[in-house]
Chain A
């Protein structure tokens, strides 16, 4: 099976990665929010045991 073939843009790869600091901070914030919510309800669960 062939694995590497054309795509919509067949241009050559540009070496430099785009600076995505805002994205990094955003997903970290998202992760913390998920954990925070989970832990909050977990403590509610513990309190009601």
Chain B
């Protein structure tokens, strides 16, 4: 019961698909940029026509880190709330379209300024690098558009709650709401630096900028950003994969609890990206690192829950022995296989994350290409493969088609290609990083310095892996195009899992938003107020803007 409609309404499907198209266009263009990067960094290739490496890298980071993710997530969540809490009202859908168009126009403006070479400031746009104001204005529209879509989802949730007093909301709707609350709270930080610092400064209204404040506001946003990417993948793992394999969810309460913990602990932790930054008292860095490590709890809860789901299913099918259940999983089904491989990659990804977040170990890897290797595991494999796996049923569901056996097979191959490419590229990045190779640098042997020469073989491996990955991008684009426009007509299920019989009942306390948002705000205030005041009161003279490309 309570799954609302079985099928996403066609009008809602259109809204979701619009987002998904933009996401995959971003994947195509961003993937091409990625290919160029690995080729340049191999030292065997130079960009033609004086194109800057940093223009390409900015394109890659913005299109894949910001555009692909945000669009896919919002599109997926609109579909998920429509599926589980019922068809959107005309008003909610209208505002969803407003959000979509604002985001799309904003993306076009930002992309324009990047591509004409006026904004090679990378996707983190740290001051004192200064882009054309159009870059920041475009990004503002993207963020405002996402807020509108977020509020549209909240309105839809509120309507469901009103119609079902005293009932626990559908899991996927609840999770979408948590993710948008997280997004809303954290994007206030990036909005503040863009509106009050970067735009006035890039327009020349003010001459100088407080660099530390702008970086701090960025990372107040930047870390929760990675959870904004990750939580939709967790939605798919918790609430959809069990259905795909034919099993049940291990526990609904555990899933909700882990989402609430992510909401609480993923925001007051931005300093773990600023561990080597002067101007922040180490005591505050320490506090935020402790809070960072709290995220280990919901992460391990998720790992446990996934293993348990798989084992329960396998045993229900008669599996014996310690790991016999593994053999019962539907390995030939790309809707399962792609996200499952994503989960596996999350193990080294998480291990690397613990290293990054530890102050001393951070000094070993800070700003090296290790970090790039790390988030190509988390984002560019775990999250992205999960999204691909979801696209394999979501797109045909929304376009009224079915995935053919041939396409399913291609999707399995795609997953394998991606894994091989990523093992090469990401491992090379991790090892080169441990040897000190910097991220965000075009090829250089630094005057044939012996240390820099050590990196070259890894950079070649990186190029091999990156090229294989690019083939993976072509494959997924073929599949997605097929599913959207050419696959045979038919009905595809939007899978939503049920909870196992043994699971505890879900308490309503998870939907006590005042409580959870209140705790989140209190933790944010504790973690940020004093150091933030310090940054303003004891600020050095601000910096002028620089255009180094």
Q: Given the interface contacts A8-B2, A26-B307, does A17 sit within 8 Å of B498 by beta carbon?
A: no
The contact of B512 among A1, A20, A23, A26, by CB within 8 Å, is: A1
B347 & A41 in contact (Cβ 8 Å cutoff):
no
Question: A27: which B residues are within 8 A, CB to CB?
Answer: 300, 303-304, 307
Question: B363: which A residues are within 8 A, CB to CB?
Answer: 45
B351 at the binding interface (Cβ < 8 Å): yes
Question: A34: which B residues are within 8 A, CB to CB?
Answer: 350-351, 354
What is the size, in residues, of chain B's interface with A at 8 Å between Cβ atoms? 48
Question: B105: which A residues are within 8 A, CB to CB?
Answer: none
Q: Give Cα A8 to B98, complex, Å.
A: 33
Q: Give Cα A43 to B105, complex, Å.
A: 49
A22 & B322 in contact (Cβ 8 Å cutoff):
yes
The contact of B167 among A5, A23, A30, by CB within 8 Å, is: A5
B135 to chain A, nearest CB (A): 36
Residue ID in chain B nearest A7 by CB atoms: B506
The contact of B505 among A5, A41, A44, by CB within 8 Å, is: A5
The contact of A13 among B324, B355, B361, B502, by CB within 8 Å, is: B502
A48 & B364 in contact (Cβ 8 Å cutoff):
yes
For the residues of B in contact with A, the DSSP-based class is: helix
Q: Give Cα A38 to B356, complex, Å.
A: 10
Q: Give Cα A38 to B364, complex, Å.
A: 12
Stretch at the interface among B175-183, B308-316, B399-407, B449-457: B308-316
Q: Given the interface contacts A5-B167, A34-B351, does A23 sit within 8 Å of B502 by beta carbon?
A: no
B351 & A20 in contact (Cβ 8 Å cutoff):
no
A residues 32-47 touching B (CB-CB < 8 Å):
33-34, 37-38, 41-42, 44-45
Question: B354: which A residues are within 8 A, CB to CB?
Answer: 34, 37-38
Interface string of B322-358 (1 = CB under 8 A from A): 1111100000000000000000000110111011001
Q: Give Cα A30 to B320, complex, Å.
A: 22
Residue ID in chain B nearest A21 by CB atoms: B322
A33 & B347 in contact (Cβ 8 Å cutoff):
yes
Residue ID in chain A nearest B171 by CB atoms: A8
B434 at the binding interface (Cβ < 8 Å): yes
B96 to chain A, nearest CB (A): 26
Q: Give Cα A26 to B306, complex, Å.
A: 11
Question: B300: which A residues are within 8 A, CB to CB?
Answer: 27, 30-31
B365 at the binding interface (Cβ < 8 Å): yes
Residue ID in chain A nearest B365 by CB atoms: A41
B302 to chain A, nearest CB (A): 11
B322 & A9 in contact (Cβ 8 Å cutoff):
no
Residue ID in chain B nearest A46 by CB atoms: B360
A14 to chain B, nearest CB (A): 5
Q: Give Cα A42 to B284, complex, Å.
A: 22
B312 & A20 in contact (Cβ 8 Å cutoff):
yes
Question: A20: which B residues are within 8 A, CB to CB?
Answer: 307-308, 311-312
Q: Give Cα A19 to B364, complex, Å.
A: 42
Q: Given the interface contacts A9-B503, A14-B501, does A30 sit within 8 Å of B322 by beta carbon?
A: no
B297 at the binding interface (Cβ < 8 Å): no
B166 at the binding interface (Cβ < 8 Å): yes
B502 & A19 in contact (Cβ 8 Å cutoff):
no
The contact of B351 among A16, A17, A38, by CB within 8 Å, is: A38
- Going nearest first, the 5 A-B pairs with the smallest beta carbon separation are A37-B351, A23-B307, A7-B506, A26-B307, A22-B311
Question: A10: which B residues are within 8 A, CB to CB?
Answer: 505
B428 to chain A, nearest CB (A): 17
29 inter-chain pairs at a CB distance below 8 angstroms, sorted by A residue, are A1-B509, A2-B508, A4-B505, A5-B507, A6-B505, A7-B168, A7-B499, A8-B499, A9-B500, A9-B503, A10-B505, A14-B502, A18-B315, A20-B312, A22-B311, A22-B324, A27-B304, A31-B300, A34-B350, A34-B351, A34-B354, A37-B351, A37-B354, A38-B355, A38-B361, A41-B355, A42-B360, A42-B361, A45-B360
The contact of B252 among A7, A25, A37, A45, by CB within 8 Å, is: A7
